[in-house]
């Protein structure tokens, strides 16, 4: 299998504290790596370093064999997009949905001005947001809808990897379900490569092909999903799994239940 992302010996210190301690990781093309671990284990730090939001103190990041340096080009930024727990992190509240989507598309030269409106509408349609949303502002949407718009913005620039850091954690359970369904649909349709972070093993079970477990800044286990859930290798993973009451634990609603409120 071809590698999309390779991380070698990645190390990050915050002052005297080591948040990432020599992390090696590989994500295959079109695969989703689910990253789990207790609070403070370094998951977000890993995501931010890979996304280029913070520079590592040591180590290398290779995207499709290209070594990414501390100062990334516009093209390199385009290739790794990130979605946050709080969608407001990527949606400027003063900008309409049209501005938010078209700025990203034009900045990264995905389409020209003549095509941009159509492309914005296509993306809204893909994430089940009505086309009349274009002239509205982020605060006019529910949390789940804002996350869908953030997903559209991130994917519209055609990244090689999508990093999702707890993208469903701030949402109500039913909304969580529909956003997770959307991720799964888009993953299939667009053959996405994803680094998907969640503290919720039910979510990880649904979305991942491979599971990686972090503890105190280190990766303690990386396994394909089925063997991970059937036979976790480390005592720490067994502990994480035993803390989950039922697996998988997300409630199900028929047909993917998209939010209807606009």
Ligand X SMILES: Nc1ncnc2c1ncn2[C@@H]1O[C@H](COP(=O)(O)OP(=O)(O)OP(=O)(O)O)[C@@H](O)[C@H]1O
Name the residues that contact ligand X, by CB under 6 A.
Answer: 14, 17, 19, 37, 39-45, 199
Between 8 and 199, name the residue whose CB sits nearer to ligand X.
199
Integer angstrom CA distances of residue 148 from 8, 62, 83, 151:
32, 29, 10, 5
Between 138 and 217, name the residue whose CB sits nearer to ligand X.
217
Between 54 and 157, name the residue whose CB sits nearer to ligand X.
54
Q: How far is the CB of 241 from ligand X (least distance, A)?
A: 17
Between 34 and 37, name the residue whose CB sits nearer to ligand X.
37
Q: How far is the CB of 214 from ligand X (least distance, A)?
A: 6
Between 25 and 129, name the residue whose CB sits nearer to ligand X.
25
Q: How far is the CB of 135 from ligand X (least distance, A)?
A: 35
Q: How far is the CB of 82 from ligand X (least distance, A)?
A: 13
Q: How far is the CB of 246 from ligand X (least distance, A)?
A: 22
């Amino acid at each position: 299998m071809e590698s999309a992302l390779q991380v070698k010996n990645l190390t990050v210190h915050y002052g005297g504290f080591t948040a990432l301690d020599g992390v090696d990781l590989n994500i295959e093309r079109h695969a989703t790596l689910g990253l789990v671990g207790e609070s403070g284990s370094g998951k977000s730090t890993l995501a931010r370093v890979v996304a280029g939001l913070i520079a590592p103190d040591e180590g290398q990041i290779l995207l499709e064999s290209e070594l990414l340096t501390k100062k990334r080009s516009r093209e390199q930024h385009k290739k790794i997009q990130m979605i946050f727990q709080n969608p407001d992190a990527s949606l400027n509240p003063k900008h309409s949905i049209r501005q938010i989507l078209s700025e990203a598309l034009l900045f990264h030269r995905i389409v020209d001005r003549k095509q941009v409106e159509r492309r914005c509408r296509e993306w809204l349609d893909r994430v089940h947001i009505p086309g009349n949303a274009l002239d509205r502002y982020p605060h006019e949407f529910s949390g789940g809808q804002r996350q869908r718009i953030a997903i559209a913005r991130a994917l519209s620039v055609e990244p090689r990897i999508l990093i999702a850091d707890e993208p469903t954690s701030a949402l109500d359970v039913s909304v969580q379900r529909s956003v997770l369904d959307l991720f799964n649909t888009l993953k299939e349709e667009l053959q996405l490569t994803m680094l998907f972070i969640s503290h919720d093993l039910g979510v990880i079970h649904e979305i991942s092909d491979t599971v990686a477990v972090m503890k105190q800044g280190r990766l303690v286990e990386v396994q394909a999903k089925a063997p991970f859930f059937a036979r976790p290798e480390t005592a720490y993973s067994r502990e994480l799994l035993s803390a989950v009451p039922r697996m998988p634990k997300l409630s199900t609603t028929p047909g993917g239940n998209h939010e209807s409120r606009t």
